[in-house]
């Protein structure tokens, strides 16, 4: 083995370097948009590929699969699904304020249905994408970089003429950071950009006179206008947005509540979640006003109809929807983008500045290239005009030359060696010719029809145009004001053609005030059967069915409908259940499994006691474990807010065998697996905190454990079936806690 090839390195250093490399590649080359064109690499590559394939807005649509395959093969060596997903999102007018791709076929909908497979759908560029995103690519205005296998070139950024990062927004999750930029209105962004270019010292507050706030394609109402200034200054914050609700009055006094616009975060599966949330409010008896709910949305737009009763307090009901459902939602803003090759959280002014700098850079390159081309054109035009004036001489030189090189030398340097002339004058004039290299080539390639009078006039007019262009381009490049005006004019024309009215309203709305109407407090009876199904019934129903209730129920006790039920398990946990969460109804109703309404898991734990919180507050509890540890705990300790807490501390491999409420029990009887019984007074069990393990109740033989716990009241005789005999518990000799007890034969 070649030991020189082995590189010894610290493992943690290698991992750190590898992870940083990976993180940076995700941040810069996958998940975050560039501040200049507002695009992620996959979006930029899809658009550039469509441009290269010539799928323009006025050409026929092409299959999405063709676009995806071409992009994957040339520029983006990743999964086809991620490329197609990027293409789909760029067509969706409910996700993007300014769709960049014109889709033909099923490209999904606002309710979260996915697009058809890419072999079915077709696409082409939108007109604005072609004009404002890809228009100047042929003028060498941006750097081209090699693709992944260095067989093609791709643009490092598109020469976008509008601040696309703001207009279309962006969402992306990188490594250790995420971006979330809301969409804005094209017209407003253009106005803000113009204002910033005219006065770079303008304040964010003044810019917001032009750019009012986010403009979501789904409309809705932004309700925290006062907080927007801080969001646009820092680049982070939360935009609160509500759906738009209208009230329709029907015949007979019934009301329809119609939701015509939804909050932007609700698009997708959020709509069906909203419908089920509203249905759940009715089922949970939080409101009795809903008659029916239906989603009547169509291509025309969103229309979710909630039918309400005549006497509904509509304001209260709408506030309840804001509080209890996603009809009021927040859009977390975190304006993170790639700026100068690194991720940066940027405020509104920083984004506009980066865009302005980019526009100046692109314009400088564009007009420098155009100027160079015009100067070259000017040189050739001047050569041709001069040639037309001495055309007879030139024809004489051409006819007298042996080859092209001889004629060219004569035109550029006046060398006449070897050329035959008809007259001395021609010979003298030929020595004075001083055409440039390019002019000489143009003359030699000139066609004879160019000598027609009108053609010469056209050439002179063209030269004048060229001179005007040169003057204009030199002015643009020399004066920042001139260049700024050109950029502003382009913004103006884009705004004129593509701007649409704002869809989202922006205001300062009142906080939705909603207090749940308190249910009238009453006593109910909690019933749970042997299978773990629980329910509540009223006291009268229980008393009418007393025998059946006692026979069929594992637990039956009174509790308040506003209170809680405590469930103690063999693993030492206490789970609380709100009585309100239990179905209340007829005696024969089935109920719900307690697993469904609490953290209790019947596959991992067993119930040892269920009791109402009210009872626990009045009494104490006795805990006994299989390893014979016991204690008394004040029931008030179990009045907890959490859904699950530890009710007692257990040793390793121990379990709670019994937990009972201590009322008038006098003696406790412990029975072990190997047939020992011990009876002693309950008073000997010390009171401890719920976090204590407790004291030993009985000495156990090796390998034995407690099997059962009984309680007796001194006055009452109590017998149990033990193996084949009846055993009177009161007949067992009264002993002391922590003794061995008496062996009882079966």
What the block records as the tokens of 51 is 């441009």
Distance in angstroms between the alpha carbons of the first and the last residue of the chain: 78
- Active-site annotation holder among 120, 316, 322, 711: 120
Is-contact 633 690, C-beta < 8 A? yes
Is-contact 323 268, C-beta < 8 A? no
Q: Is 120 a catalytic residue?
A: yes
Is-contact 161 167, C-beta < 8 A? no
Pairing of strands 505-506, 221-222: parallel
What the block records as the tokens of 199 is 């006065």
Integer Cα distance of 95 and 256 in angstroms: 28
Integer Cα distance of 352 and 348 in angstroms: 6
Integer Cα distance of 442 and 411 in angstroms: 11
Q: Where are the alpha helices (DSSP H) in 111-223?
A: 127-128, 164-168, 186-198, 204-207
Closest listed residue to residue 624, CA positions, set 633, 611, 634 = 633
The sign of the dihedral angle between the CA atoms of 439, 444, 446, 449 is positive
User: What residues does 634 pair with on adjacent strands?
Assistant: 620
- 3-class SS of residue 336: strand
Integer Cα distance of 708 and 671 in angstroms: 5
Residues in the chain: 746
Integer Cα distance of 131 and 396 in angstroms: 50
What the block records as the tokens of 323 is 């509080």
User: What residues does 696 pair with on adjacent strands?
Assistant: 629
Contact residues for 204 (Cβ-Cβ < 8 A; gap 6+): 229, 232, 233, 347, 348, 349
Closest listed residue to residue 241, CA positions, set 277, 271, 274, 266 = 266
Q: Where are the beta strands (DSSP E) in 467-538?
A: 505-506, 523-529, 533-538
The sign of the dihedral angle between the CA atoms of 11, 15, 21, 22 is positive
Per the listing, tokens 């100027």 go with: 371
Pairing of strands 742-743, 607-612: unpaired
Backbone torsions φ then ψ of 162, nearest 5 degrees: -130, 155
Integer Cα distance of 387 and 396 in angstroms: 12
What the block records as the tokens of 328 is 């009021």
Instruction: Sort 553 into a burial class: Cβ within 10 Å, 0-12 / 13-18 / 19+.
Output: middle
What the block records as the tokens of 467 is 């001179």
Is-contact 554 530, C-beta < 8 A? yes
DSSP label at residue 181:
E
User: What residues does 104 pair with on adjacent strands?
Assistant: 122
Q: Which helix (H) or strand (E) holds 3?
A: none
Closest listed residue to residue 673, CA positions, set 659, 661, 688, 657 = 657
* Positions marked active-site: 120
């Amino acid at each position: 083995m070649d030991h020189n090839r082995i590189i010894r390195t610290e493992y943690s250093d290698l991992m750190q370097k590898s992870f940083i490399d990976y993180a940076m590649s995700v941040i810069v080359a996958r998940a975050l948009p560039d501040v200049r064109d507002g695009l992620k690499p996959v979006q930029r590559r899809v658009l550039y590929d469509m441009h290269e394939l010539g799928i323009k807005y006025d050409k026929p649509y092409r299959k999405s699969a063709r676009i995806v395959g071409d992009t994957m093969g040339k520029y983006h060596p990743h999964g086809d699904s991620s490329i197609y997903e990027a293409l789909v999102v760029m067509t969706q007018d409910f996700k993007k304020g300014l769709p960049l791709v014109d889709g033909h076929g099923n490209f999904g909908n606002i309710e979260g249905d996915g697009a058809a497979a890419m072999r079915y759908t077709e696409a082409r560029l939108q007109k604005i994408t072609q004009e404002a995103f890809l228009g100047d690519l042929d003028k060498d205005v941006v750097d081209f970089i090699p693709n992944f296998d260095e067989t093609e070139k791709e643009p490092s950024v598109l020469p976008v003429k509008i601040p696309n990062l703001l207009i279309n927004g962006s969402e992306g999750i990188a490594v250790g950071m995420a971006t979330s930029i809301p969409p804005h209105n094209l017209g407003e962004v253009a106005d803000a950009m113009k204002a910033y270019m005219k006065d770079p010292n303008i304040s964010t507050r003044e810019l917001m006179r032009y750019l009012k706030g986010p403009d979501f394609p789904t409309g809705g109402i932004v309700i925290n206008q006062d907080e927007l200034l801080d969001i646009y200054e820092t680049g982070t914050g939360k935009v609160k947005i509500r759906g738009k609700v209208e009230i329709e009055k029907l015949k007979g006094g019934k009301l329809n509540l119609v939701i015509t616009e939804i909050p932007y975060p609700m698009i997708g599966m959020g709509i069906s979640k909203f419908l089920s949330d509203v249905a759940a409010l009715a089922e949970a008896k939080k409101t009795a006003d809903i008659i029916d709910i239906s989603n009547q949305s169509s291509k025309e737009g969103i229309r979710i109809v909630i039918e309400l009763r005549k006497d509904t307090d509509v304001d209260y009901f709408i506030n309840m929807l804001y509080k209890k459902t996603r009809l009021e939602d927040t859009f977390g803003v975190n304006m993170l983008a790639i700026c100068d090759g690194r991720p940066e959280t940027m405020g509104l002014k920083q984004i506009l500045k980066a865009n302005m700098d980019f526009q100046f850079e692109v314009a400088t390159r564009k007009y420098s290239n155009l100027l160079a081309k015009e100067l070259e054109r000017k040189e050739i035009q001047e050569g041709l005009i001069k040639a037309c004036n001495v055309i007879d001489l030139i024809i004489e030189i051409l006819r007298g030359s042996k080859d092209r090189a001889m004629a060219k030398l004569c035109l550029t340097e006046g060398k006449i060696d070897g050329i035959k002339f008809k007259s001395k004058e021609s010979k003298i004039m030929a020595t004075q010719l001083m055409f440039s290299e390019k002019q000489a080539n143009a003359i030699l390639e000139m066609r004879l029809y160019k000598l027609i009078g009108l053609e010469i006039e056209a050439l002179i007019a063209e030269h004048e145009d060229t001179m005007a262009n040169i003057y204009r381009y030199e002015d643009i490049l020399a004066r920042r004001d001139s260049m700024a005006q050109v950029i502003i004019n382009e913004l103006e024309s884009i705004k004129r053609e593509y701007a649409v009215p704002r869809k989202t309203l922006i205001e300062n709305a009142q906080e939705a005030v909603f207090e749940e109407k308190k249910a009238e407090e009453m006593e109910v009876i909690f019933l749970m059967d042997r299978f773990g199904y629980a329910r509540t019934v009223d006291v009268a129903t229980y008393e009418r069915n007393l025998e059946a209730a006692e026979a069929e129920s594992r637990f039956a006790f009174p509790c308040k409908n506003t209170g809680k039920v405590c469930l103690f398990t063999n693993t030492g946990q206490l789970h609380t259940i709100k009585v309100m969460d239990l179905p209340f109804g007829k005696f024969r109703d089935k109920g719900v499994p307690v697993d469904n309404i609490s953290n209790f898991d019947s596959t991992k734990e067993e119930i040892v006691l269920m009791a109402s919180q009210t009872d626990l507050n009045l009494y104490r509890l006795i805990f006994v474990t299989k390893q014979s540890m016991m204690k008394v705990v004040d029931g008030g300790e179990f009045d907890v807010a959490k859904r699950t807490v530890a009710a007692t501390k257990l040793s390793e491999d121990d379990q709670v065998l019994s937990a009972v409420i201590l009322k008038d029990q006098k003696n406790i009887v412990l029975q072990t697996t190997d047939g020992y019984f011990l009876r002693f007074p309950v008073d000997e069990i010390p009171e401890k905190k719920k976090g204590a393990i407790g004291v030993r109740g009985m000495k156990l033989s090796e390998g034995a454990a407690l099997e059962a716990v009984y309680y007796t009241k001194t006055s009452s005789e109590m017998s149990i079936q033990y193996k084949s005999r009846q055993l009177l518990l009161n007949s067992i000799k009264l002993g002391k806690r922590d003794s061995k007890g008496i062996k009882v034969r079966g």
